[in-house]
Structure 1
Amino acid sequence: MKKLILVFLFLIASAFASDIKVQVLGSGGPELNDNRASSAYIIWVDNKSKILVDFGGGAALRFEEVKAKIEDLDIILLTHLHIDHTADLPALLKASFFSNRFKDIEIYGPDKGLFVPDTKTFINRLFENKKGAWEYMGDFLDGNAQFKLQTTVIPFSKEIKTIYDKNNIKIKAISVNHGPIPATAYKVSIDGKSITFSGDMSGKYSTLEKLAVNSNILIAHNAVPKGAQGVAKNLHMTPDIIGYIAKEAKVKNLVLSHRMLRTLGKEDITKKEIRKYYEGKINFAEDKSIYLVQ
C-alpha cells in the first residue's frame, strides 16, 4: 500500500514539474574559423528563456535563432569576464530597447583579479553615464530605462554559496581556477533537477566536483586536448581531469562545450581519456544543441 501511495505521489509531482532544458547557444571559444559562437548557454523553463550563462561573441544571433525572448530573462550568470564569455552583452541589452521588457535583470559574476575588475565595475565601465564605453546606455544603470541592471559580485570562495533562491530556482556558486582570472562555476537547480556549468577552469582548486555532485547535467569546457602543457593546462581542464570530476560528482550526463580548434577532430581521444574515470553519458556540444534535464 505504501508503495502505491509513493508511486501515486511521484506521478502527481511529475505532472506538475517544470519542463527544463539547457541549450548551448555558443559551443566555441575565442577563435575565428571554427564556425561556432563563443560560450553561451540558456536554461529554458516551461519553454521560456529564463537564465543565461555567459554571452560571448555570436551569442546574440543564436539567441534570436532559437527564438528566445529578452522579456522572459530573469538572470544572467557570468562565469568570468573574458571577451569570449561577455562580448555580446551590449548587443543583447541594446536589443531589449525594442522589446516589451520592463522587469529588472539580475547579473551575477566574480570579484576582481589581477587583470580584470569585479563584475559590477565591469558592467559600469560598459554603460555608465559619461564614463562607460557605451555611455548612451547609462539609463540601464540609473533607473531611467524601461528596466534596470542589478549586478551582484560573488566573492572568491572555495566553499559552496547559495546566491539565488526565488520562484523555485536555486543557484549555487563556487570559485574555480582559471589561472590569474577570477572564475565562478554555477549549479542551477529547479524542481529537484540541476545543471552545473564549469566555465573555463583548470581543476586545481578541486571545487567543481563538490558543486556538481549528483547533477543531471554537467557542462564542462573541453578547450584543451590530452597532453596539453604550459599556459593551456594552467587555464583549462584536460580530458582526464574532466572525466575524474564527472566521476567524483556522479553526474548523469556530461556535455562537452567550449570546443576549440585544438580539440575538434580529437573526440575519440578525448572520450577515451574521460572513460578512464567516467562511465555515464557523454555529448559533444554544437551550437544550438539542446538537452532535456531529466
Structure 2
Amino acid sequence: MPTTAQAAQCMNAGLDVVVLGSGGPELTDKRASTGYLLRENGKARFIIDFGAGSSLNFERAKGEIKDLNALLFTHFHVDHSNDLPALVKASFFSDRNRDLPIYGPTGNHVIPTTPVFIERHFSEKGVYPYLSDFLSGEAAFSLKPMAVNADKSKPRLFQTKLNGFTLKAIPIEHGLMPSIGWRIEKDGCAVTFSGDTSNIGKTLDILAKDTDIFIAHNAVPESSTDKVAVKLHMKPSEIGRIARNTNSRSVVLSHFMRRTVNVKQDTAKAVRKQYQGKLAFAEDCDIFSLKSGLKVGSCKQ
C-alpha cells in the first residue's frame, strides 16, 4: 500500500488523465482505440497515442490543439496512431502558432523511425501531400518529429524537459514492433503509460517506480496459453507484480480486447494476488486525477 509520505508527493491537483480510447484494434468492442490525454487545469498538454475514435473523445474532453505541448507515441500500430492525420488536418482550423513536437520510437525493418513515419504521411510525396505545408514550414506551425531509442538490447532511459514537464521513456518488448513506454512528471506527480508489452526485460519496473497512476494494457487474460499473445502483452499477474514492485499508487487497466473485457473478475483477482492498491478498469472518457489516483469524472458528461 502507498505510504502517507508517498501520497503527499503529488502537489498539483490540476493534473489529470482522460482516457481517449480504452480499446484495441477490434471494431466490435464499442470502444475507441488506444489514446490518452494529460491535462493541466483542464487544458490539453500531452496526447499519448491516438488510435481510431480518440479524436472524438479529445473534443469531448474540451481539448484544444493549440494547448498541446507534444504528441507521444508508444508505437505505430494502427490502433495507436491512425487518428493522427485527423488531428493534423483539424489543426488548420485551430489557433496554434507554435511548432508541435512528435516523439515516437526508432524504427526497424517492420516500421520506419518516427521522422520517416511522419514524412511518409505528410510530405509532398506522402499519403497526404496536401498537408505537406506542416512539414515544409509554410503552415502556421510545423510538425517536429523526434525518434526515441526503442532498441530492447540497449534499454537506455530517455529523459527531456518540456514546458515544466519531465518526459521519460524506455524501450519495451512488443515483438517485432519497436515500442517505448512513457512517463510524464510535474510537481512531484507522475503517470506511467505501459504501452503494449509483455514486459520481458522488466523495463517497466524502471519506468513506473513510485508512479501515481500506472496505466497498464490488459490485452491478454491470465488464462491465456497463446504463446504469441503473451510475448506481445503482459498478463494481469505481471501488471500486479510491476505495480507492487514499483510502489505504484494506483493502477488503471486499459486497451481491452474481447478476450479480456468479459473476464474482469478473473483479471482483478490475478492483479490482487500481487498488488493491493487502487485498481480501476478504464472506460472511454474516464478522467483520473494524478493527485488522488481515482476516477473523478467522464468527458461524456
Runs of 4+ in 1 over 4 A off after TM superposition: none
Corresponding residue of 1:20: 15
Once residues 136 and 20 of structure 1 are traced to their aligned partners in structure 2, the CA distance between those partners, rounded to angstroms, is 36
Letter aligned with residue 245 of structure 2: E
Secondary structure at the counterpart of residue 29 of structure 1:
coil
Which of 76, 84, 92 is 1:89 aligned to? Answer: 84
Structure of greater relative contact order (alpha carbons < 8 Å, 6+ residues apart):
2
Which of 215, 228, 251 is 2:211 aligned to? Answer: 215
Percent identical among aligned pairs is 44
Deviations 1:127-183 (A, max 9, x none): 001x10001101111110111001110123413221x21332001110000011110
Which of 238, 242, 248 is 1:241 aligned to? Answer: 238
Confirm or deny: 8 A CA contact 2:13 2:290 kept in the other structure: no
Q: CA deviation at 1:276?
A: 1.3
Corresponding residue of 1:48: 43
Deviations 1:8-31 (A, max 9, x none): xx9xx95xx461001100000000
1:23-102 superposed matches below 5 A: 23-102=18-97
Secondary structure at the counterpart of residue 265 of structure 2:
helix
Which of 156, 163, 167 is 1:167 aligned to? Answer: 163
Which of 93, 100, 104 is 1:109 aligned to? Answer: 104
Once residues 205 and 168 of structure 2 are traced to their aligned partners in structure 1, the CA distance between those partners, rounded to angstroms, is 13
Once residues 137 and 278 of structure 1 are traced to their aligned partners in structure 2, the CA distance between those partners, rounded to angstroms, is 47
Corresponding residue of 2:140: 146
Letter aligned with residue 271 of structure 1: A
Confirm or deny: 8 A CA contact 2:18 2:61 kept in the other structure: no
Secondary structure at the counterpart of residue 262 of structure 1:
helix
Corresponding residue of 1:263: 260
- Give TM-score scaled by structure 2 length: 0.90
Which of 111, 119, 122 is 2:117 aligned to? Answer: 122
Once residues 76 and 268 of structure 1 are traced to their aligned partners in structure 2, the CA distance between those partners, rounded to angstroms, is 34
Corresponding residue of 1:187: 183
Corresponding residue of 2:131: 137
Matched, 1:251 2:245: no
Secondary structure at the counterpart of residue 74 of structure 2:
coil
Letter aligned with residue 234 of structure 2: M
Letter aligned with residue 52 of structure 1: I
Once residues 126 and 214 of structure 1 are traced to their aligned partners in structure 2, the CA distance between those partners, rounded to angstroms, is 37
Corresponding residue of 2:296: none
Once residues 73 and 160 of structure 1 are traced to their aligned partners in structure 2, the CA distance between those partners, rounded to angstroms, is 24
Deviations 1:207-259 (A, max 9, x none): 00111000000000001101222211111001111111111111000000001
Confirm or deny: 8 A CA contact 1:114 1:181 kept in the other structure: no
| Structure 2 residues without counterparts, runs of 5 or longer | 1-7, 292-301
Once residues 256 and 19 of structure 1 are traced to their aligned partners in structure 2, the CA distance between those partners, rounded to angstroms, is 22
Deviations 1:69-120 (A, max 9, x none): 1111111000001000000000011011111111111110001123111111
Confirm or deny: 8 A CA contact 1:29 1:39 kept in the other structure: yes
| Structure 1 residues without counterparts, runs of 5 or longer | 1-9
Secondary structure at the counterpart of residue 263 of structure 1:
helix
Corresponding residue of 2:5: none
Q: CA deviation at 1:33?
A: 1.4
Number of aligned residue pairs: give it.
279
Secondary structure at the counterpart of residue 80 of structure 1:
coil
- Give TM-score scaled by structure 1 length: 0.92
